[in-house]
Amino acid sequence: MANSPVGNRDLIRAINRSKILNTIKSYGLIPRAEIARLTGLSPATVTGITADLIQDNLVFEKEVGDSSGGRRPIMLAINPHGGCVVGIKVMEDHALGALTDLEASLLVKQSFPLTDTSPEGVSLAVGELVVELLRLSANPLSSLMGVGVGLAGIVDSGQGIVCQSPFFGWTDVPLRELIQNRVHVPVYIDNDVNTLAFAEKWFGAGQGINDFLVVTFGRGIGLGIVVNGQFHHGLRGGAGELGHTVIRPGGELCACGKRGCLEMYVSEPAMLRQASEAFNQGQLASQPHTPEELVALAESGAAPAREILVQAGQLLGQSIANLINIFNPQCILINGEGVRAGRWLFDAMRASIDEHTLPSLRQDVSILVEPLGDDAWARGAASLVLHELFESPINRQRDSEIA
C-alpha cells in the first residue's frame, strides 16, 4: 500500500515548501509573518523553509518593510537570478532557444538550423543550442536548472516520448532521454501549445485563473487546457488537437489523413490556398503569398480577401463556442502567428462565439487576443522547467498515479 501523504514527512515538507514559494512568487515582496498567516503554517515552519530557500538561492531578503510598532520586518522575494532555464521550440527546419531567469524574463535567444531531423540529429542540435545559449549569457552549466522542449504533435510529457510528430514522421521517440543524455540536466518535453499554457499560468494572463484555455492560431490550430488549476494532457498527451476536429465531413484532405479538419479551412496555409484559388479564378487582382499580404488586400478593399478572413473567423468562433460550451472556462487566450489576421477575422470570430455559445456561459468568459512573437514559444518551453519548480508535489503525485 502506498504511504499516506499525511504520514510522509518528506512529502509534507515539500508541499509546504511549494506553498511558501508560490506565496512569495504571488505577492512579490512579503514578510515571513504574512506568509505564515496566508498559508496557515506555523512561524517556525516558515522560518525553517525560507532559510532553505535562501540557501538554495531561490529566495532572498530584499528590503526592510514598514513597521507597525515593533521591529521592521524583513521582506522576502523570489531571486530571479538564482538560476537559469532554457526553453526550446523545435520546428520543421530550425530550433529556437531562449534562456530565461526564474521569472521567465528573456535573457538571450538564439536560432539553430536543423539539418538532420532524425531523433539523434534533433537531440544533438538541441544540446548544441543549450551550450550556445549558456555561452551567450555567460552563465555556467552549474546555474542551469533544466531544459524545456516544445514541439508540435502528440507528446507524452510524463514518459518523455514523442508519440507522433507531423513534422518529422516520428512515432514513439524517447526524445527526453536522448536530450538528457547530452545536456546532463533535467529535461521536460511537451506539445508546444501546452508550453504556452504553462507560461500563461505561471507568469502571464492565466495567473490566478483555475479554468482557462489557450488557442493557438497560425500554421495550425492548437489548444492548451487548464481545468481546476491543472493541466489536462489526456491519456497519452493527445488532448487539445483542436485543429483536427472535423467540421466538414468528406471535405479537404488533411495531412493527418482525415478529411474536413478545422485546420484545412482556418489556418494561415488554408487561407492562402483559398486566396490562390480566388486569384486563379480572376476574383483577386494579385495573389498574396504571405498572411500579411492577404490582410493588406482585405484592408485595401478587396472583397474576396475580406470574405476569406471572415469565413475563417466564423469557423474559428464556432469551434471556440463549442469549447466554451464543453469546458465553461473563465478565460480564453488566443495567440500565435495568426493574430496578425486582424479585425476582419477576429470581429467575425467574436460574433460567431456570441451566436453559438450558451448565453449563460458566454457571459462568464473573457476572450483575449494576444500578439506573440516566436520567442514566446521558446519562453513557454522554459516554463516547463519553472512549472516543476513551483508546482505542488501533491499535484505531481496525483498525475503520476493517474498515469
Q: Which CATH superfamily is domain 84-200+376-402 in?
A: ATPase, nucleotide binding domain (3.30.420.40)
CA dihedral angle for residue 54, residue 60, residue 61, residue 66, rounded to 10 degrees? -120
Domain 84-200+376-402 matches domain 206-369 at the CATH topology level: yes
pLDDT in tens, 225-272: 999 988 899 988 889 999 999 999 999 999 888 999 999 999 999 999
Alpha-carbon distances, residue 380 vs 57, 109, 125, 247, 347 (angstroms): 23, 13, 19, 29, 27
CA distances to 13, 78, 85 from 32, in Å: 17, 13, 27
- Looking up cell 486569384 gives 279
Q: What is the pLDDT of residue 1?
A: 43
pLDDT tens for 176-200 read 999 999 999 999 999 999 999 988 8
* 347-402 residue pLDDT tens: 999 999 999 999 999 998 999 998 776 678 888 888 889 888 887 676 555 444 43
Does residue 151 sit in helix, strand or coil? strand
SS3 204: coil
Instruction: Say what the pTM is.
Output: 0.84
Residue 94 burial by Cβ neighbours in a 10 Å radius (0-12, 13-18, 19+): middle
DSSP result, 4-57: PGGG-HHHHHHHHHHHHHHHHHHHSSEEHHHHHHHH---HHHHHHHHHHHHHTT
| CA–CA separation, 216 and 155 (whole Å) | 17
**Residues facing 46 on adjacent strands:** none
Retrieve residue 79's grid coordinates: 531571486
* CATH 3.30.420.40 assigned to 206-369: yes
Fold of 5-78: Arc Repressor Mutant, subunit A (1.10.10)
Q: Where are the domains of the chain?
A: 5-78, 84-200+376-402, 206-369
CB 173 within 8 A of CB 256: no
